[in-house]
Amino acid sequence: MPDRATESPEPTPAQQAAAIVLRSGLSDYAGLTVPRSHRFRLHNHDRILALAEAAGVPFAHMLEDVIASGLHAIEQALGPEHLDKIEYTRIRSMDSAMKGRKKASDILPT
């Protein structure tokens, strides 16, 4: 059994995104996606596009990593009382999005 004291900590989202750009890391996602149109400031769009090209991944993939990194940084700066309220709102939104969707166990053959 590995010793927890000697295990390396999980990388932050920013470290994961940097590893993808440096092509020394991988990421994937399994879950629901939400289609959404968004306007970008040109300089932010171009920075994300350059990261995606350097990483050899689609723009949308790099955008998700950049968003995750930014959210992680913001959450680290907030206190627990703010995080509790945000988490409640996130869960409520997720529950609303999941209403009416079938569970994998409902559609997979047994």
Among 32-36, 40-44, 45-49, 55-59, the range scoring the smallest mean pLDDT is 32-36
Predicted pLDDT at 102: 65
Secondary structure (DSSP) of 11-65 = PPHHHHHHHHHTTS------S----------HHHHHHHHHHHHHHTS-HHHHHHH
Alpha-carbon gap, residue 16 to 89, rounded angstroms: 26
Summarize pLDDT for 65-94 with one digit per residue, the tens. Answer: 999 999 999 999 998 889 988 998 989 888
Alpha-carbon gap, residue 63 to 36, rounded angstroms: 13
The whole-model pTM stands at: 0.72
Residues with Cβ within 8 Å of residue 24, at least 6 apart in sequence: none
Distances (CA, A) of 88 to 26, 85, 95: 30, 5, 11
Token pair of 4 as six digits = 């927890």
